Amino acid sequence: MAFVAVVCLSLLAIDFWNSWQSRSDQLQQMNVAASNLARAMAQQADDTFKKADTVLVGMVERVEHDGTDPADVARLRRVLALRVAELPQLDGLHVYDKDGNWVANSRLTRPENLNNAQREYFVFHRTHETRGPHIGIPVKSRTTGRLLIPVSRRINHADGSFAGVALATIHVDFFSKFYDSLDIGDAGAVALVLEDGTMMTRRPYGPGVVGRNMLETELFRSYTAQGPVGTAFIKSAQDGVTRLNSFRRLDNYPLFVSAALSKDEILATWWRETLWHSGGVLLLALIVGFIGWRLVRQFQLQTRTEAELRQARDALETLNKTLNTLAMEDGLTGLANRRQFDVALDSEYSRAARTASTLALIMIDVDCFKQYNDIYGHAAGDECLQTIGRTIARLASRRPGDLAARYGGEELAVLLPNTDVASAVMLAERIRSAVRDLKIEHAGTADGFVTLSAGVDALTPAAGKAGQPKELIRAADKALYAAKSGGRNRVCASTVQPVPA
Ligand SMILES: Nc1nc2c(ncn2[C@@H]2O[C@H](COP(=O)(O)OP(=O)(O)OP(=O)(O)O)[C@@H](O)[C@H]2O)c(=O)[nH]1
């Protein structure tokens, strides 16, 4: 189960990792695209202002050098008209005296009662001695009503005192048109911002955009924090859209541009592709998980069935062993039972016939056992038989073929392959003596203890002759009978005289 879970989770983890990587790649690419866009916008703005400013430098030099006599002014007006005609971004070129009164402009008509002393750029130059260009906040043209960006320079008298202002006005539309031509998607945005926080223009354009104060916006704060070039994800203060913003300061003028691509648009394709293949991978993981789960269930079932079969087999084997024991063993004494004895006798007899060896048999009978039962009870009789059985088993199982058995009742037998009668008698005597030495009390016998009588016979079977095993038993039985009638507690051999106790 853990393996299946690891496989499924690995599939999902790998897919998640891939998707995350491709998202990072996508954002990185868009970062580069936004940065390039900002660079192009900054270049365009820089060029636009540079051209207007170059004209201003010429105007200032001319006025300071030639003065403002009517003839010079007439010539200046023609030159200004020519310059405006050359540069499409320019709305007009103007020269004002130290009081803000009109001196010359690029138009052929002379505006009446026009004084610009209160305009921001005029106040700036009057109060600042710097000779560099000044870009003012956008103003609405009094003559055309169009929004214009004023670019101006200070004109000085020969002694360095304030003599007036040279002004070039640039159409805000000029930038708007350029920005409209950029491919920034449906939710992209671009902006041109004065470094004092004044919005010059923006796409998407709307009423109130131009001149808006940007000081409190996140865009302006990011620009201030990161320096002339930077990138940031910013939620727009204008329309609430989160965008990847790349901003860049103009090389020569105190403005910066910002190119912003919508985060949702950047990631739209990535989302589409990720949803498709993540869905596919999820489905695959589910299929793998389901198949794995079924396999595991089957394994479990198989294992359980095998365990049950093993248990059943073990139980059967145990039962077989028990049955075998029951079939071959005597329940009371633990010796071989009569059935096993008969089988062994037949087989050993045949072997002796084949190998022409001698087979011996000892028949043993407990003396006066009826009386023992009568005196001590049947349970004590059983116990006595068990003790005698253990003693015989110990003495009569030294060789592999020897077999001690309960022949029936209190009668026991020991089968001894490859043994002559003398050796069998010796063993019988050892058994008799060992049982006597147990000193099991028996009030019914002559010497007061449990004793045995044994009859021994041995023969070498003639090859091919049937019915001989019975003769061995009969002869041993006969010898036993002789031992009993000889006074008990003794061993008799069928071919030899009883061995006295
Ligand atoms: N307790 C007990 N007694 C048994 C068992 N098998 C046989 N007997 C008893 O053994 C006795 C055998 O008696 P008998 O055959 O008359 O011979 P005996 O009393 O041993 O006398 P002799 O053989 O002549 O010495 C019987 O009383 C049987 O009931 C047994 O498994 N347990």
One domain, residues 221 and 343:
no
Determine the pLDDT at residue 236. Answer: 81
Q: Which DSSP letter does residue 111 get?
A: P
Q: Closest ligand 1 atom to the C-alpha of 366?
A: 20
87 contacts 62 by C-beta, under 8 angstroms: no
Ligand 1 centroid, distance to 370 Cα (angstroms): 4
Domain that holds residue 226: 1-319
pLDDT for 204 beyond 90: no
One domain, residues 77 and 157:
yes
Q: Is residue 499 in a domain?
A: no
252 contacts 192 by C-beta, under 8 angstroms: no
Determine the pLDDT at residue 4. Answer: 82
Give the list of residues 6+ apart from residue 21 with CB closer than 8 angstroms, or none.
Answer: none
Q: Within a 10 A sphere around the Cβ of 313, how many other Cβ atoms?
A: 10
CATH code of 471's domain: 3.30.70.270
Total domains in the chain come to: 2
Q: Is residue 233 in a domain?
A: yes
One domain, residues 376 and 287:
no
Q: Is residue 383 in a domain?
A: yes
One domain, residues 146 and 183:
yes
One domain, residues 282 and 389:
no
Ligand 1 centroid, distance to 33 Cα (angstroms): 117
Is 382 touching ligand 1 by the criterion CB < 6 Å?
A: yes
Q: Within a 10 A sphere around the Cβ of 178, how many other Cβ atoms?
A: 19
Determine the pLDDT at residue 112. Answer: 65
One domain, residues 292 and 358:
no
Q: What integer is the mean pLDDT of 7-31? A: 90
Q: Is residue 332 in a domain?
A: no
Is 385 touching ligand 1 by the criterion CB < 6 Å?
A: yes
Q: What integer is the mean pLDDT of 301-327? A: 92
CATH code of 143's domain: 3.30.450.20
pLDDT tens, 243-263?
999 999 999 999 999 999 998
Is 373 touching ligand 1 by the criterion CB < 6 Å?
A: yes
Q: Report how far residue 268's alpha carbon sits from residue 15's, in angstroms, rounded to the nearest whole number.
A: 18
Give the residue, 174 or 1, on which the prediction is more confident: 174
Which residue minimizes the CA distance to atom 28 of ligand 1?
A: 370
Give ipTM to 2 decimals.
0.94
pLDDT for 500 beyond 80: no
Give the residue, 462 or 292, on which the prediction is more confident: 292
Q: Which DSSP letter does residue 336 get?
A: B
Query: Mutation test of ligand 1: which of 363, 364, 370, 371 has the most ligand atoms closer than 8 Å to its C-beta?
Result: 370
Is 180 touching ligand 1 by the criterion CB < 6 Å?
A: no
Q: Report how far residue 77's alpha carbon sits from residue 92's, in angstroms, rounded to the nearest whole number.
A: 11
One domain, residues 435 and 301:
no
Is 450 touching ligand 1 by the criterion CB < 6 Å?
A: no
pLDDT for 152 beyond 80: yes
Give the list of residues 6+ apart from residue 366 with CB closer than 8 angstroms, or none.
Answer: 372, 384, 385, 388, 410, 450, 451, 452
Tokens of 463: 């090859």
Listing DSSP states for 8-46 in one string gives HHHHHHHHHHHHHHHHHHHHHHHHHHHHHHHHHHHHHHH
55 contacts 168 by C-beta, under 8 angstroms: yes
Q: What integer is the mean pLDDT of 77-90? A: 91
**End of a domain among 262, 290, 319?**
319
Burial of residue 338 (CB within 10 Å: 0-12, 13-18, 19+) is middle
**End of a domain among 319, 352, 378?**
319
Determine the pLDDT at residue 498. Answer: 40
Q: Is residue 330 in a domain?
A: no
Determine the pLDDT at residue 3. Answer: 86
One domain, residues 301 and 208:
yes
One domain, residues 17 and 148:
yes
Three-state DSSP at 491 gives strand
Q: What integer is the mean pLDDT of 79-84? A: 92
One domain, residues 381 and 308:
no
Three-state DSSP at 353 gives helix
One domain, residues 286 and 373:
no
Q: Is residue 190 in a domain?
A: yes
- Residue 323 pLDDT grade (very low, low, confident, very high; cuts 50, 70, 90): confident
Q: Is residue 501 in a domain?
A: no
Q: Is residue 155 in a domain?
A: yes
Ligand 1 centroid, distance to 467 Cα (angstroms): 29
One domain, residues 249 and 345:
no
Give the residue, 237 or 368, on which the prediction is more confident: 368
